Amino acid sequence: MIQISKSDFLEYRSCAKGWWLKHRKRDAVNWPAPSAFDRMLMADGYLVEAQAKKLVATWPHHDDCTFQRVFDAGSLYARADLVHDLGGGVIDLYEIKGSTSLKSSSGQDHVDDACFQTLVAERSGVSVRSVYIMHVNGEYARDGAIDPAALLVIVDVTSEVRARSAGINEEIEAAIALIRVDLIDEQGCTCRHIGKAGHCASFAYFNPDIPENSAYLLPRISRKRLETLDSEQRLAIDHVTEKDVTPAQLPIWRALASGEPLIDHEAIGAFLEPLQWPLHFYDYETFAAAVPIADGHQPQQAMPVQFSLHRLAADGRLEHAEFLADGPGQQADLVAAMRAAFMDEGSAIVWNKSFEKGCNDRMADLLPDAAAFLAGINERTVDLMDPFKAHYVHPGFGGSTSIKKVLPILCPHLQYDPSAVHDGAGAMEAWIHMVETSDPAERTRLATELKNYCKLDSLAMVEIFRVLRAL
Ligand code: SF4
């Protein structure tokens, strides 16, 4: 018998077919392993729970409180984050979250989680008096030791849980019924008419007729357009016409349909022309956590812990500077290293400028003395990703403007090592392990990986810039 947990139920709600496939025909799909982002989320949860334990220890009734109490209700199973046993089979139930509101960063409503836990607890035989969500306070700024009472917010969601109970109960019954059936309709799935960002690993299994080179590669393609193309059996990119695409999708469609790169030399020249020498290609890696790790930091606030900067002079001279914090709260040192690496003049070049500019804004709030310097960098920031939205589009980019897609096509000699740190979440995970490990060899290994990764990000921009300039 499959026991349905809260995670199962949430997966079922997000996609019933995908959830069934995972449990009943697991070998049908090559399911991705949990990502670095997933692992960081779990680690965050443990840290918030540790703070909740400190808070509960101050409650007069703390002896009646239990963390991770299990409720077994036959086909359902719940592990409640925190239970206050009121005696006589009556409890108060708490869900503990690392988010800064009643919703997760992906928009998942925590009241629904709490409702599932409540219903399972009640089916197991207890009576739930009140339901609470304990989440972190987004306004909290660390000042010395963490103050759990200031960090955590407790919201009474009992009435909302009761209002949703009937609906969630029906969904639970539907999930139980679904997981018991041996066969489902495996033709298509609901993501067939949404863009590829929403697709999971099961998409190809449920939609084997969709060719690799399809309308899903067009950025921000609308549901209506996909429905029309599907009903006319024109999802293959060869059957999409110019009339089907928006102006923003047009260059991507042209490159995908022709199989040839589309290069607008004039527009790329206009992009490069205003750049000021020397060019500062730089990249940050950040760390964010529900429980802030340094004074002045706030929950889930991404703060730079590392940068790599390549400075390219007009005569072609290339110099490299970098900084890697070896502990929390070193943003002032990082900014000092930035000051040393940046000339008073010259463009600052990044990939996806909202990220680096946001980092500079947050560091300016943290370090008012550096605010003018950081604002100055933001003012001279240019986004090297921009030309790849419309002026240089290659079918090999697959409709993406990610540097991870652009680099292998333009500069195949530069490679990200998939077995080492190779993305932002992985860098975050590696950085905190580097800081926390007591093994010097492991610390050195992680520091080397982090430096190599960040250095490749800024060097990749230099090489991509050189390709554009040589056109
Ligand atoms: S791609 Fe299909 S199976 Fe996957 S989440 Fe979307 S609807 Fe579900």
Residue 205 CA: nearest ligand 1 atom is 3
Is 352 among the domain residues?
yes
Residue 57 carries which side chain, given as an amino acid letter?
Answer: A
- Mutate which of 192, 200, 209, 223 to test ligand 1's pocket (most atoms within 8 Å of Cβ)? 200
Residue 207 Cβ < 6 Å to ligand 1: no
- Model pLDDT, residue 170: 98
Q: What is the 16 CA–ligand 1 centroid distance (Å)?
A: 8
* pLDDT at position 79: 97
Element (H, E) at 469: helix 440-469
Which of 180, 209, 235 is the endpoint of a domain?
180
Question: Could you tell me if the CB of 9 is within 6 A of ligand 1?
Answer: no
Q: Which domain covers residue 36, as residue numbers?
A: 6-180
- Long-range contacts from 445-450, C-beta under 8 angstroms, 24+ separation: 447/324, 447/326, 449/420, 449/421, 450/285, 450/306, 450/324, 450/421
Same domain for 281 and 415?
A: yes
Here the CATH number for the domain that contains residue 136 is 3.90.320.10
**Burial label, 414 (beta-carbon count in 10 A; 0-12, 13-18, 19+):** middle
Q: Which of 12, 184, 202 to mutate to test the pocket of ligand 1 (most atoms within 8 A of CB)?
A: 202
Which amino acid makes up residue 14?
A: S
| Residue that is last in its domain, among 153, 180, 207 | 180
Ligand 1 center–CA 447 separation, angstroms:
38
Residues 146 and 292 reside in one and the same domain: no
Both 27 and 133 in one domain: the answer is yes
Is 200 near ligand 1, meaning CB less than 6 Å away? Answer: yes
Low-confidence spans in the chain with pLDDT less than 50: none
> So what's the pLDDT on residue 291?
97
* CATH code, domain carrying 279: 3.30.420.10
Domain-embedded: residue 413: yes
Does the C-beta of 311 come closer than 6 Å to ligand 1? no
Residue 306 maps to a domain: yes
In a domain, 42, yes or no: yes
The protein residue with its alpha carbon nearest to ligand 1, atom 6, reads 191
In this prediction, residue 223 carries a pLDDT of 96
The answer, yes or no, to whether any atom of ligand 1 lies below 6 A from the CB of 216, is no
Instruction: For residue 123, give the nearest of 181, 159, 176 by alpha carbon.
Output: 176
Tell me the H-state helices in 76-157: 110-123, 148-151
What is the model's pLDDT at position 74? 94
Burial class (CB in 10 A: 0-12, 13-18, 19+), 266: exposed
> What DSSP state is assigned to residue 286?
E
Instruction: Give the distance (Å) from ligand 1 centre to CA of residue 347.
Output: 43
Last residue of a domain, one of 161, 180, 199: 180
Query: How far does the centroid of ligand 1 lie from the alpha carbon of residue 352, in Å?
Result: 28
Identify the pLDDT of residue 2: 82
Per-residue pLDDT of 326-375, as tens digits, reads 999 999 999 999 999 999 999 999 999 999 999 999 999 999 999 999 99
**Cα 204 to averaged position of ligand 1 atoms, centre (Å):** 9
| The total number of structural domains that make up the chain | 2
